[in-house]
Amino acid sequence: MNHPHGTQLRLLLGSAAISLGLLGCGGGDDPDVTVPTLIGYAVLPADSFVAGPTSGQFISGGDYTNATANYGYSLPMVNKQPMQGFSALANGPLAGCYYVMQDNGFGSKAASPDALLHVYAMKPDWANGKIIPANFSTCDSLAGFDASSFIRLRDPDRKLGYSLVADGVNYPGTTTGGKTVAVDPLIKSNRLLTGGDVDPESMLIDADGNFWFGDEFGPFLIKTDKTGKVLAKEIAVPNTRKLGNNPLVQSPSNPYLGSATPNLANSGGLESMTINTSRTRIYALTERELTTDSDAQRRILNVFDIASGAFLSTTYAYRVDSGTYVNAAGATVSENFTVNDITAINDHEFLVVEKDRGAGDARSGNFPASGADRVAAKVKKVFKIDLDKVDANGYLVKELVLDLMNIADPKRLGGAATINGVFTFPMECVEAVRVVDKRTLMLVNDNNYPGAAASRNPKKPDNDEFILVRLPVALNTP
């Protein structure tokens, strides 16, 4: 699955020398930049679907209201599954082709039992600003996203240790109309995993070509083959630092919780996960703090050894920044930021995406900087950490690599998202980053379709945006 990063960039951009002109908005052949600069922008429209069981039957609350009243959608989505919630990127079998993972579906376990879990093959067409469907095995271009362009996670051999949505007669819960709905026959016959079973938020591919997914419900590590079939029982995350009495890290959605006390909030699990460049160890970083931790800004980086199949006793501490915003009631609210992806540069250096809860660019005039329940974004950043560098308090030292709210765009590749030569990526959720080469990063947002907060147009859900950013300082890639 590996390929030389230099070759990948040449193929992505279409020549041995990087040509900004090939990216759709003007010329210029100088590959060197003095500040982080947008060099590629491609979009998959929000309203993109693949055929499948009816979905969105259990969306409720604010997401339902926003999707129907604000965006004008009619739910459910009959006989189709939305392509959304992109939360992880991995290299495909050919340079310029990527595997893109969607998360659990509609934001919560209760809302997502009819949402299938996909990994898609895609090729960003930077010259034309669009995403090309690809065959999952060969990466050949396709006319559309069909069954050959994705895998669906499934557990036909009953490897997972808990009951699935597929095992029931009806989906858990009721629709907004109070109706019970029978589980779709396709889910039952194939024991397809749904967003009611697993919340995959991170993904990597090991040296044998197997996929590993970081789940938030447990949280768990889940291993599948390259077709999406589960190969082994889920792996629980140990409370390695012994923060509190629970020997495991468990969320309220953990199927084995029983009478134990959860020590991690829902949607706080393995949002961030990567494999080192030697492909021997998995590094899994929690999105949120343990509730038993005295430092609410600490995030634990656990290390899983693939050969032994076990988590190591070694852990690292990452400390998120914090800030404040003024809510709709006029109160100043404190906020600890979250970590939303990690990717390896080499065997000891990594990039970490850190963000606030904000959505939208205040400069556009469409998103309030204060005085609202959801205010405009201020903090969306990528930091570099080195496992060999910790501060006096034992936290990994952070070095800012990229401020996603301040990206130079002299060629206006970002269109209306670029104001006065500066492109911002003010998405509510930025959950995937990939090192393309030592000077180039690719990122994609999770648009939380169809009911989440918008970041570009208040009356429309966000598209899935893929961006390429050129860095002024080279990373230490192998």
Would you say residue 187 lies in a domain? yes
Q: Kindly state whether residue 449 falls inside one of the protein's structural domains.
A: yes
Domain presence at residue 264:
yes
Q: How many CB atoms lie within 10 A of CB 207?
A: 12
For residue 275 the two structure tokens come to 């494999």
> Across residues 445-467, what is the average pLDDT?
96
Q: What is the mean pLDDT of residues 197-212?
A: 97
What residue has token string 């030292």? 397
Containing domain of residue 118, as a range? 5-470
In this structure, the number of other CB atoms found within 10 A of the CB of residue 333 comes to 12
Residue 116 included in any domain = yes
Nearest alpha carbon to residue 407 among 441, 374, 356? 441
- Tell me what percent of the residues of the chain surpass a pLDDT of 90: 92
Q: Which of 315, 390, 383, 379 is nearest to 351 (CA)?
A: 383
pLDDT digits 0-9 by tens, 349-384: 999 999 999 999 999 999 999 999 999 999 999 999
The answer on pLDDT for 13 being more than 80 is: no
Q: How many domains does the chain have?
A: 1
Digit-coded pLDDT (tens) for 55-92: 999 999 999 999 999 999 999 999 999 999 999 999 99
- Of the two residues 11 and 205, the one the predictor is more confident about is 205
Inform me whether the pLDDT recorded for 25 exceeds 50. no
| pLDDT value for 377 | 98
* Per-residue pLDDT, 258: 93
CB 471 within 8 A of CB 441: yes
Question: How much is the pTM?
Answer: 0.93
Residue 425 within any structural domain of the chain: yes
Share above pLDDT 70 across residues of the chain, in percent, rounded to a whole number: 94
Decide if 478 is inside a domain: no
pLDDT bucket at 32, cuts 50 / 70 / 90: confident
Rounded to whole angstroms, the Cα distance separating 40 from 470 reads: 9
Has residue 477 been placed in a domain?
A: no
Residue 163 lies in a domain: yes
Instruction: Kindly tell me if the per-residue pLDDT of 7 is higher than 50.
Output: no
Q: Which amino acid is at 398?
A: K
The per-residue pLDDT for range 394-450, each reduced to its tens digit, is: 999 999 999 999 999 999 999 999 999 999 999 999 999 999 999 999 999 999 999
Whether 188 shows a pLDDT value over 90: the answer reads yes
